[in-house]
Chain A
Amino acid sequence: MKEFLAFVRKEFQHILRDKRTMLIVLILPVVQMILFGFAVRTEIENARVDIVGDLSDPEVRKIVDRIDNNRYLEVAEVLPSPNCITSRFEKNKADVAVCFGMDFGTHLRKEGRGSVKIIGDGSDPNSAQMIVNYVMGVLRSEQTEISSSLSGQDAVQTAPSVQLMYNPAMKSAYNFVPGVMGLIMMVICSMMTSVSIVREKESGTMELLLVSPVKPLWIIVSKVLPYLFVSTVNFATILLLSRYVMGVPMRGSLLLLSVVAVLFVFTSLSLGLLISVVASTQKSALLLSGMGLMMPTVLLSGIIFPCENMPGILQCLSHLIPAKWFIIMVKKIMIQGAGFPYIIKEFCILAGMTAFLLTLSVKKFRIRL
C-alpha cells in the first residue's frame, strides 16, 4: 500500500509541476464551452427573406404574411425580378429569396401544385440550409392548410421530411453541453494517461519501474488517479458554466449524472491505457488519441451531426463510440430530467464497453519491454 501511495504522490507531483499543461487542461473546457456557446451558433435569428412574386395574388400574400410573422424570419424586400437576388446576396442585404411562379395561387388551387423556388445564400452552407428549412416549413404548413380546405382530396404533396422535425426553437446549448462534456473527458483522460505512460517509456523510467518488484496494476492505477481528479474538476467547471452562463437546465439528479460521468471517465481511461500499450513515443500517443479517438468522437457521437441523419453504415459505426452513449445519457438526465430506468440501456452498453476495454488494456500491459 505504501508503494502505491508513493506512486500516486509521484503522479500528482508530475502533473502539478507541469504548470503549462495543467493550465491548458483546466482552461480547455472553458474555452470550448465559450467557443461552442457563442462563436459557433447554430440557431438562426431574424433571417432576412426577399420575395419575388405577385403580391396581388392572395395566396402569395398569405405566405409572405406567414413568413413575416415567423419568429425567425423577416421579410426584407419585395424584388421586381429574380435577377436582383444575386446583388442582394453580395451586398449581404438578404439571406434567402423566395420566388413565386406566375399565377401561383391559380395553379395551386386548380392543379394542387404551385411553383415556388427558394434560393439560399450558399456562401455559409450551414445557416443557408437551416434558413431554407425554415422557409420550407412555412410553405408546407400553408400547403397543408390548402389541401385540407380542398374537398378531402390529398392532391398536394406534403411528405414531411426529417429536417422538418428539427425543432427550430431548440437552443444549441442543449446540444453541445453534453457533447463538450464528453469530448473534454475523453481528451483529458485518454490523451493525458496515454501520454504520461508513454513518457515513462520514452525517458527510460519505465525500464526502472518494470525492473522493480512493483505490480504493473499499481503503476496503471496510480497513473489513472490524478486524471480522475482533474476530470472531476473539469466536470464541475462545465456543469457550472452550462448552468449559469449558458442557462442549460439541470432537470435530473446530479448524483446520477456524476455516476454516469465517472463511468465514462473509466471508459476513456481504459482507452488511454490501450493507446499507451500500442504507442512507443509521446508523439504517436498524441496522434493516436487525437486522430484515433477525437475525430471519430467529434464526427460520429452526434455532437455535430445527428446520428439519425447518418448513412446506415456510419450509424452502425457510431454505436461503437462510447461518447455517443454518454451524451445520450447526459441529455436525458440534464434536459429531460430522466431517472435511472430511462437510461438503463445506454448505461449497460457503456459499462460493458468499459469492462471490456479495461480488461484488455490491463492484460495487454506488458511486464517486459
Chain B
Amino acid sequence: MNAIEIRNVGKSYGKIRALSGISLDVEEGEIFGLIGPDGAGKTTLFRILTTLLLADEGEASVMGFDVKKDYESIRKIIGYMPGRFSLYQDLSVEENLEFFATVFGTTVKENYGVIKDIYSQIEPFKDRRAGALSGGMKQKLALSCALVHKPSVLFLDEPTTGVDAVSRKDFWNMLSRIKASGVTVFVSTPYMDEASLCDRVALMMHGRTIDEGTPAQIVAKYPYRLLSVKGKPMYPLLKYLRGSEGVLNCFSFGSVHHLAIDGSRTDAGKILSGISEAGFTDCEVHEIDPGIEDCFMNLAGQSADNGKFMSDDGKRD
C-alpha cells in the first residue's frame, strides 16, 4: 500500500484554479518533496490531504483512508506542521507539547522516545513561553508537537521557508532521522536545492505537477547539454551569451552562468573562444550535469504560458 495516493485532484477558489489534475503516489517510509514556488498550489494540496479542505474533483487517500469519507481516521494517524508557526504563543514549551499530546490521546512520557532527539534540544527552555522562542527553537517545538503522537505520516508545509541556510541543514538532518524511525514524510519547499535531500520529488508550478520521480530520474530527463560559463564582467556576459549562436537559454547560477546549448550548433570550445574574443576576462567554460533547478526552469518555461495569470497560492481560507 502507498502511504499517500492522489488521483486527478483539482481545486478552485472562485475563478482561480489552484490545483488541476494532480496525481501522485507516496510510498511508505520515504521522504517525498513537493517542490515549487509560492502560488504553485502546495498549501492547497497539503490542506486537501490533511482533510482541512475538500477537493473539487479527484480522489485522495492517506494510509488507505479516503480524505473525504474517513477524515476522522486520518486525523488520528497524521502529524501536521502548517507553514507558519501555529502553536500557542502564550503557553510554555512544555505546556504546548503536553496539550498536543493529550489532544491526540497520549502523553509526552509515553512517546518521549519519538521526540527525544528533537525535544531534548529545547528542553532546557521548557518553561519559556513559545512566543519568546527563536525561529529555530519554534520550529523544533512545532515538529515535536507534530510528532508527539507517533504519526504514520508527517506533513510539513514549507518548514524551511525564511529559515537561514544553517538552520535548514539542521532541519533536514532531523527529517532523515525521523524517516529512519519509519515515518513517511511529505514535505514542501520552495528551495530547489532541497530536492536532493528527498527520496522522491514532484515539481509543481501553477497548480500542476510538471515532473516527478527521484531527483536522479528528473535530472536524467534534462534534454539539452549544459555548460557552466564564467567570465568578467558577469552581467554583460549573460547578455552576450543570450545572443550567441546555438544558445537555448542562459541564467546565472551563483558565480557562474548555466548555458543550455544545442549541441549540433555549438560546444564548449566555441563558446569559450567566442567570449574571449568579445573581451571578457577570466573565462572558464566546461560541460556540467544539470541540477534540479535547471530542470525546473526548463519544465516551468514550457508550461509558463498556461498560467500567466495564476495568482497566489490558496493561502486564503
Contact = CB atoms under 8 A, between A and B. Distances in A.
Interface of A: 2-3, 5-7, 10, 13-14, 17-18, 201, 203-205, 207-214, 280, 367-369
Contacts of B99: 6, 10
B88 A369 contact: no
B80 A3 contact: no
A13 B91 contact: yes
Given A6-B103, A211-B50, A367 B71 contact: yes
Contacts of B87: 205, 208
Contacts of B88: 10, 14, 203, 205
Interface stretch (B14-22, B51-59, B236-244): B51-59
Interface string B100-141: 101111000000000000000000000000000000000000
Contacts of A213: 72, 75-76, 103-105
Most B CB atoms within 10 A — which of A18, A209, A212?
A212
A4 to B, nearest CB: 9
B51 A6 contact: no
B216 to A, nearest CB: 33
A214 B149 CA distance: 13
B317 interface: yes
Given A203-B89, A213-B75, A368 B51 contact: yes
Nearest to B96: A10
B289 interface: no
A95 B119 CA distance: 75
Contact of A211 (B80, B85, B95): B80
18 contacts: A2-B105, A3-B105, A10-B91, A13-B90, A13-B95, A14-B88, A14-B91, A204-B82, A204-B86, A207-B52, A207-B80, A208-B87, A208-B100, A209-B103, A210-B52, A213-B103, A368-B54, A369-B53
> Main SS of the interface on chain B?
loop
Given A207-B80, A368-B52, A368-B54, A14 B86 contact: no
Q: Give chain B's interface residue range (CB within 8 Å of chain A).
A: 20 to 34
A207 B103 CA distance: 13
| 10 nearest CB pairs, A to B | A204-B86, A6-B102, A369-B52, A213-B76, A211-B80, A212-B103, A17-B90, A213-B75, A205-B86, A211-B50
A207 B95 CA distance: 18
B47 A369 contact: yes
A208 B80 contact: yes
B28 interface: no
B98 A6 contact: yes
A233 B45 CA distance: 46
A210 B100 CA distance: 12
Contact of A3 (B51, B103, B317): B103
Nearest to B157: A207
Contacts of B53: 368-369
B90 A211 contact: no
B177 interface: no
A280 B315 CA distance: 13
Contacts of B84: 204
B40 interface: no
B246 to A, nearest CB: 50
Contacts of A18: 90
Nearest to B79: A211
A5 B101 CA distance: 13
Contacts of A203: 86, 88-89
B203 interface: no
Nearest to B95: A13
B185 to A, nearest CB: 16
A14 B98 CA distance: 15
Interface in B40-79: 47, 50-54, 71-72, 75-76, 78
A244 to B, nearest CB: 36
Given A368-B51, A368-B52, 20 more contacts: A2-B105, A10-B91, A10-B95, A13-B95, A14-B88, A201-B317, A205-B86, A205-B88, A207-B82, A208-B80, A208-B145, A210-B51, A210-B75, A211-B50, A211-B75, A212-B103, A213-B72, A213-B75, A213-B103, A213-B104
